[in-house]
Amino acid sequence: MRRVGIFICHCGRNIAGTIDVERVREALRSYPGVVYSLDYLYMCSDPGQELIKEAIAKRDLDGVVVAACSPAMHEITFRRTVAAAGLNPYLCEVANIREQCSWVHRADIERATLKATQMIEAIVEKVRHDEPLLPLAMPMVRRALVIGGGIAGLQAALDIAAAGYEVILVEREERLGGRMAQLSATYMNFDSTVDLLREKIERVTRNPHITILIRAQVEELSGHLGDFKVKVRQQGNDEEYEVGAIVVATGYDLYPMERLREYGGGRYPDLIDGLEFERMLSPTGPTGGEVRRPSDGRVPQEVVFIQCAGSRDPERGVSYCSKICCMYTAKQAMIYKRQVPQGQAYIFYIDIRALGKGYEEFTQRAMEEHQVLYLRGKVSKVFPQDGKMIVWGADTLSGKRVEVAADLVVLATPMVASAGTFELAQKLRVATDEHGFFSEAHPKLRPVESLTAGVYLAGACQAPKDIPEAVAQGSAAAAKVLSLFSQEKITHDPIVATVESELCAGCGLCVEVCPYAAREIHPLTKISVVKEVLCQGCGVCLVACPNKASHLLNFAPAQMMAMIEALEGG
Amino acid sequence: MRYLYFPGCTLSTKAKGFAASGEASARALGIDLVELSRWNCCGATFPLATDNLLALVAPTRVLLNAEKEGDHLVALCSICYHVLKRTNMLLREEGDKREKINLFLEEEYSGEVEVLHLLELLRDEIGFEALGERVQKRLQGLRVAPYYGCLLLRPFQEIGLDDPEEPRILDDLLASLGCEVVEFPHKSECCGSYLAMNTSEVTRELSYAILRSALASGAEAVVTSCPLCQFNLDYRQGEMAAHYPGFTQIPVLYFTQLLAIALGIESEAFGLADHYVDPRLLLVRRGLP
Amino acid sequence: MSKRRAMVIGGGISGIQAALDIANSGYEVVLVERLPSIGGHMAQLSETFPTLDCSQCILTPRTVEVGHHEKIRLATYSEVEEVRGDFGDFKVKVRRKPAYVDWERCTGCGLCQEKCPWRVASDFERGLGKRKVIYTLSPQAVPNKPVIDREHCVYFQKESRCGACAKFCPVEAIDFQQEEEVWEEEVGAIVVATGYDLYPMERLREYGGGRYPNVIDSLQFERLLSASGPTGGEIRRPSDGAVPKEVVFVQCAGSREPERGVAYCSQICCMYTAKQALLYKHKVHDGQAYVFYIDIRAGGKGYEEFVQRAMEEGVLYLQGKVAKIFPQDGKAMVWGADSLSGKRVEIAADLVVLATAILPSQGTGDLREKLGIKIDESGFYEEAHPQLRPVESGVPGIYLAGAGQGPKDIPEAVAQGSAAAAKVVALLAREVSP
C-alpha cells in the first residue's frame, strides 16, 4: 500500500486567495493512502522543496502529490526534487488546483475548496497505482542541421561549429545571406550590408565543420531529438543525413502588395515596397544605387514613405507589428535625402517604434538633420494622376487631411513567415502560431526553443525582428544545441504507450493514427509495437484501438476509473 | 562694486518704482549701478524665427555701447535681461550671424560683455546670508509667493540663471529678508505675456490661475521681477473679481520694493502707490515699513 | 591552458540564463551577485507581459535550478574587485561583504527574521514597505540565507544592545565578528550581466521630484501589484491607503530627452505600462486608467495585440507629454495634452505612475573599468558591433548580456544570456578539444 504525501501550495494568494488550503490539508489527512499532508506558501521554492525531501525521508513516503500550479510549470521541478530524495520521479504527480481551480472559481470559495479536495484525491488515486518508470536512454548524434542561410542561420552555424561540432547548413536559394544580402546599408551607421555579410559568409565557407548545401531543401524528416533522419533534396538528388538537433532559421518574406488594394495593389511601377527600395539603394542593385522612378527613370523629388502598410491591421489578418519598419524607413529616407538633398521625404506613421540601442536618436536625426517630414496619420489611398502618385493621408497634429503628389511611394509592408514555412513546420512537426510564424516554447523564458524536442528557432521565422536580434537568437539557439550535445546521454520521458499483446489483433489502426510515426506492426509477430523514443504519449492510439490493447504507462484504465470515482466524490 | 546698468524702456516709464527701489537697494548694499550713457530699447522680444536678424540689431547696439564702458551689464527687467543675454550668446556662437548684424551697425561687437541680472549679483556677489545680516527691518514673516514667470528661467541652456523646474533664487532672497515663502506650484507658469495686447482673455485666465494658486497656498502677496508679469497679474484683478466669483485680490510687488523696505529705505519714488491692488494696506497691517 | 570555468557577473534573469546554458554544457560557473540573493528586478515584478505569467512562478524554477546545479557556484552579496589576465586565463578578485551569518550553518528557518525587533524601509519594496534588519530579499530567495544590515543594526550601532537573532538562532549561525572575504577566481571567460536601475525620481522635478507620496515609479507600482508586496497585491495610495479611482500613467518620464542626458528610448515602458494599466483595471473595476504617451512601442510577438487589449478594456490612451504634476486638495494634478483633440488635458489623479528611464545599474562605470571594456555615451556596455556582434564586448573572453548592454525586455535578455553562453562554450571548448 502506497504511503502518499500531499503538499499543497498557496502560490502566494493565487491559490490560497480562493481555496481554503488549511481545510483541504486537513480533509486529505484521512484519505486512504495518505500518511502526510502539508501546505506551504511557495512549494516550488527552495524551502518548499526541502519540505518535500524531508517528508519523504522522515515519513518514508513512496508517493507524492503536489497540489499547485499547472504541471507544465513545475512538474519537472518537483520530479527532480523527489528524485534527489531518492524516490522514483514518476511516483510524483501534480494536481493543478490553480489554473484548473482557484483561478477559474474566484467567486465561490466553498465550492472551489471542495473541488480542489476532490482533484487532489483523484491524483492520489493515480499515484497509488503509478509504476516507478525509468527514463529511456536515447542515442545522441552530435551533428546539427541548420535550415536557412540568412544571418540568423549563419550565426547559429558558426557558433555550433566553433565548439567543434559538425553542422549541415541547408539553403533554398543559390547563395547564402538571405534577406540581408538584398539590403543596401544598415541603420544606424549605414554600414554596407554586403560588406558585413561577406565576413560572416567567408567564415562559414572556410569552416571545416560546416557543410553548405545550396539550392537545397528539406524534403522529409523522421526520428527524434538526438537522432533525426533528414532527407535533403538538392537539385533533384536526395541525400539523407543523421543529426541530433535542428535550428530553424528560415526567415521572412514581405506581404504581397497585390493585397493592398487601396495602395494600388502592386499595379503601379512607382509604388514599391521596402525591399524593392533597398535594391534600388544598393550599389549592386538594378540602378547601381541611385534612386530613380521605375516608370521613367527620373530622379524623384517628392518621396512618400508609408509605415504600417498592412501591419497592425486586424481586419486584414495582420494584427501584429512588423517591428523593423519604423527604423528602416527612417534609414531609407535619410539615404534618399543624402542622394537628393533638395528632394522632400515624407513619412506617414502611427507610432514611431524606435526601440533598440541608439534607435531613438537615429530617428530624431532623420527629422532634425535631414528634414524628413514625419506626419502622424494613416494613409487611406494612393492612386495615379498626371504622372504622379497622389497620396491621401492625415496629420493628427494639425487635425487636417493631407494630400501629397509624390514621384515615388515606398510601402513598409508587413513581414510574414517565408514561403513554405507551413509545409516545413508540418515536416518538422513544429507548431506555428496564428500568423504563420514558428511558435516558441515560452514567449518570455524560452524564446529560441520550439515545443518539439531538439528543434530550435532563430531569427525572423519566429517573429519579426532586426539583425542584432536575429544574430543574438542565432547564438542563443546554438547555445541550446551545445548544451544538448555536451550531455553524456539523452533520456526520453518514459510516459509512453504500451501494447497488451494478447489483445492486439494487428489491425494497424494505431499505426495510421500516430502523428509521430511511433507505431509499427512488427514484421514477425504481426503485432503492434511502440517505438518508445518516438512516442510522445499523446494517447491517440489508445482511442483508435478497437480492442483496448493500447495503454499509456501510468495512465492505465484502472487508474483512470479510480480518478473519476474520486472526482465524483465516491 | 561698480556695474554698468541697463534700465530699459519700461523701467524708465511705467515701472519707475521698480527701477528706483532696485537702484536704491543696490546702492545701500555697495553696488553702484551706473546707467549706460547711450542706450536704446532692447527690442523686448527675442525673435522666434531663426533668421530674423534685423530684430537683433537693437540689442546688439546696446551691448556694443556697454562694451565701450565696461565688461558687465546688469538688467533688472526680466525681458531686457532675457533678450540681452540670448543675443549675447548668439553673437558669440554664431559667427556668420554676428558678421551680418555687425554690417548694419558699422561697428564690430567683440562678444566680451557679460549680461547679469540683479538677482545674480545679490546671490553670487553678496550672498543671501550676508544680505540677511544687512537687513534693518525683517519682514515679519510676511507670506509671499515668489513668481518667476518664463523669461527669467527659460530656455535653460541659454539663460541658466536658476533651475527652470524648481527655481529657488527669488525664494531664497525673500527668505533672507525674513519673509515666509510659500510653496506655490504655479511659480514658473506663464502669465500670458504679450497676449495682453490682443487676446486679453487668455492673459486673464492664465494670470488668474497663478493668483488662485498663490492664494490657495496661503500667500499674502505675490513677488515678481518682470514689469509685464506685474502688469498682467496686478491690473487685471478688477476684471478677475468680476469674472471669477470668490476671487480675493492680492497685491503684486516687485522684489526690489521689499528689498528696499527690508534695508530700511523708504521713498515715494518706489511706486507703492501706483499699483492697482494697493500693497500699502497689507504692509501697514504688518508694521511695514 | 584555458580554465574550464566561467564567471557570470550579475544574477538577474540574463545572468541566470547564461550560467545555466554554460553549466548545462559541462563547464563550471561562478555566479557573482551584489545582492544577497539572485533574481534581479524580475523578482520584483508581479506579472510579465504579454502573457501575464506570474513573474515569480516563471523565475523561481530558474533560480532554484541555479541554486541546485552541481556546476554552478553562487557567490552572492559579492562584487568583483579586480580583473587581470586574458581570455582563457582571467584572475578575478571577488569581495564578499560580511553577512554576519554563517551560511554553512544556517538552515534558512527564518526565525531570526521573525524575532528581530527592528524594521527599516525595504529597498526591495522600493521604500513602500519595511523589512527586518536581518533579512532575506523574499521568502523564496536563492540562497535562502539572511544577511544583517549593519548600518541599521542596533547591535552594531548601539554597542551590542540587542542580539535577538543570535539568542534565537537554533544552530548558532549568527556571527557578529564575521569579516569580509576576498578571494581569487581563475576563469577562462566572463559574462557581464549587471542589469539596470531606474532613473531617480528626484531628478524629475516637474513631476514632483520624488516628494509626493502618490507619485511613484513603475517598479513601486509593481510592488503594489504583487501578491507578495507591501499591500498584499491591493492597489492603494501610499499617502492614505485609499484605493485610487483615477490613475495616470506617464510614459517617457525622463527617456527620449536629450536635454536631460537621456536621449534614448527605454524600450520596455510602453509594454509594462499597458500591463500595469490592465492589471489595475482588473483589480479596481470602477477605476479609470489614463496613459499619456508619445509613441506606443509594441514591436515584439503578441505585443501590439496586448496594447490593443488594454485600450479595448477601457484604458484611455492620450498622445501628449505631461508637462507638470503638483498636489492640490489631496489629489495629484496632472497637466498633459491630447494631440488628437488638440487640447490641453488636466486630470486630478489619485495616483500617478511614472515610467521612468532605464539607466545602467549603479557601479557599471566602475566595473567596466576593472574589466577594460567600453561603455557608450549613455553609460551602457558597448557591444563590438551593433548588428553582428551584439553580445561581444570587443575584449576577447568577455561577453555582454541583458539590460546592462541596453534597455531590453525579458525575452531579449534571455536570448542574449544564451547567446553569450554560446560564445563562452565555444571559447572554452576550443582550448580543450584536440
Residue A301 pLDDT grade (very low, low, confident, very high; cuts 50, 70, 90): very high
Tell me the CATH architecture of domain C5-97+180-195+361-432.
3-Layer(bba) Sandwich (3.50)
Contact A416, A309 (CB under 8 A): no
Per-residue pLDDT of A423-473, as tens digits, reads 999 999 899 999 999 999 988 889 999 988 899 999 999 999 999 999 999
Q: Which chain B residues touch C206 with a CB distance below 8 Å?
A: 165
B-facing residues of C in 315-354 (CB < 8 A) are 324, 326-328, 333
Q: Does C25 contact chain A (CB < 8 Å)?
A: yes
Residue C2 pLDDT grade (very low, low, confident, very high; cuts 50, 70, 90): low
Q: Which chain C residues touch B156 with a CB distance below 8 Å?
A: 259
- Does residue A389 have a pLDDT over 50? yes
CATH code, residues B2-118:
1.20.1050.140
- Does residue B190 have a pLDDT over 90? yes
User: What's the average model confidence in pLDDT over A335-353?
Assistant: 95
- Quote the minimal CA–CA distance from C207 to chain B in Å: 9
**Residue whose grid cell is 565576413:** A199
Torsion sign, CA atoms A145, A149, A153, A154: positive
Q: What is the model's pTM?
A: 0.83
Q: Does C303 contact chain A (CB < 8 Å)?
A: yes
- Does residue C53 have a pLDDT over 90? no
- Does residue C384 have a pLDDT over 70? yes
Pick A352's closest partner by Cβ from C67, C295, C303.
Answer: C295
Contact C15, C417 (CB under 8 A): yes
Element (H, E) at B62: helix B57-69
**Phi and psi at residue C364, in whole multiples of 5°?**
-60, -45
User: What's the average model confidence in pLDDT over C103-107?
Assistant: 89
Distance CA B90, CA B109 (A): 12
Contact A422, C261 (CB under 8 A): no
Per-residue pLDDT of B203-235, as tens digits, reads 999 999 999 999 999 999 999 999 999 999 999
Nearest to B109 by CA among B64, B162, B48: B64
Residue extent(s) of CATH 3.40.50.11810 domains in chain B: 137-285
B158, B163, B166: best mutation site toward chain C, by most C Cβ within 10 Å?
A: B166
Q: Does C54 contact chain A (CB < 8 Å)?
A: yes
Q: What is the pLDDT of residue A570?
A: 56
Nearest to C47 by CA among C285, C283, C216: C283
**Phi and psi at residue A456, in whole multiples of 5°?**
-115, 160
- Does residue A392 have a pLDDT over 70? yes
User: Cα(first)–Cα(last) distance of chain B, in Å?
Assistant: 27
Residue extent(s) of CATH 1.20.1050.140 domains in chain B: 2-118
Residue A223 pLDDT grade (very low, low, confident, very high; cuts 50, 70, 90): confident
CB contact under 8 A, A163 and C296: no
Nearest to B72 by CA among B31, B127, B40: B31
A233-261 burial code (b ≥16 CB/10 A, e <16): beeeeeeebebbbbbbbbbbbbbebeebe
Could you write out the three-class secondary structure of A13-73?
CCCCCCCCHHHHHHHHHCCCCEEEEEEECCCCCHHHHHHHHHHHHHHCCCEEEEEECCHHH
Residue C433 pLDDT grade (very low, low, confident, very high; cuts 50, 70, 90): very low
Partners of residue A397 on adjacent β-strands: none
Average pLDDT, chain A: 93
Per-residue pLDDT of C213-230, as tens digits, reads 999 999 999 999 998 899
Q: Does A505 or A570 have the greater pLDDT score?
A: A505
Q: Give all chains having 3 or more CB-to-CB distances under 8 Å with chain C.
A: A, B
Sketch the domain layout of chain C as residue ranges. Answer: 5-97+180-195+361-432, 111-168, 199-358
The residue of chain C nearest to residue B212, with distances taken between CA atoms, is: C328
Nearest to A473 by CA among A152, A146, A149, A144: A152
Q: What is the pLDDT of residue B56?
A: 94
Whether the ipTM is more than 0.85: the answer is no
Q: Which chain B residues touch C326 with a CB distance below 8 Å?
A: 185
Q: Which chain C residues touch B185 with a CB distance below 8 Å?
A: 324, 326-328, 333
Per-residue pLDDT of C269-316, as tens digits, reads 999 999 999 999 999 999 999 999 999 999 889 999 999 999 999 999
Contact B152, B238 (CB under 8 A): no
Residues 6+ apart with CB under 8 A from C419: A471, A472, A473, A474, A475, A476, A478, A479, C390, C391, C401
Q: Which chain A residues touch C299 with a CB distance below 8 Å?
A: 321, 323, 353, 355, 464
Chains B and A touch (3+ CB pairs under 8 A): no
Distance CA B287, CA A444 (A): 70
Cell of A130: 503509478
Q: What is the pLDDT of residue A376?
A: 96
Residue C431 pLDDT grade (very low, low, confident, very high; cuts 50, 70, 90): low
Pick C418's closest partner by Cβ from A351, A476, A486.
Answer: A476
**Residue whose grid cell is 518538422:** A428
Q: What is the pLDDT of residue B49?
A: 84
Choose the CATH number for B137-285 among 3.40.640.10, 3.40.50.11810, 3.40.50.720, 3.40.190.10.
3.40.50.11810
Residue C382 pLDDT grade (very low, low, confident, very high; cuts 50, 70, 90): very high
Q: What is the pLDDT of residue C303?
A: 94
Q: What is the pLDDT of residue A435?
A: 95
Q: Does A72 contact chain C (CB < 8 Å)?
A: no
The residue of chain A nearest to residue C426, with distances taken between CA atoms, is: A163
Contact A45, A12 (CB under 8 A): no
- Does residue A240 have a pLDDT over 60? yes
Domains and CATH numbers, chain A: 4-132 (3.40.50.960), 143-251+418-485 (3.50.50.60), 255-269+291-405 (3.50.50), 493-553 (3.30.70.20)
CB contact under 8 A, C139 and A321: no
- Does residue C259 have a pLDDT over 90? no
Pick A443's closest partner by Cβ from C142, C144, C302.
Answer: C302
Q: What is the pLDDT of residue B140?
A: 83
Distance CA B3, CA A543 (A): 100
Report the percentage of chain A scoring pLDDT > 70: 100
Pick A358's closest partner by Cβ from C62, C264, C298.
Answer: C264
Q: Does A110 contact chain C (CB < 8 Å)?
A: no
Report the percentage of chain C scoring pLDDT > 90: 84
Residue C261 pLDDT grade (very low, low, confident, very high; cuts 50, 70, 90): confident
Per-residue pLDDT of A136-189, as tens digits, reads 888 899 999 999 999 999 999 999 999 999 999 999 999 999 999 999 999 888
User: What's the average model confidence in pLDDT over C241-264?
Assistant: 94
Q: What is the pLDDT of residue C434?
A: 38
Q: Give all chains having 3 or more CB-to-CB distances under 8 Å with chain A.
A: C
Three-state DSSP at A348 gives strand
Partners of residue B200 on adjacent β-strands: none
CATH 3.40.50.920 matches C199-358: no
Torsion sign, CA atoms B9, B14, B15, B16: positive
Q: In what order do the strands lie in the sheet with A373-376?
A: A271-273, A408-411, A302-306, A344-349, A373-376
Three-state DSSP at A105 gives coil
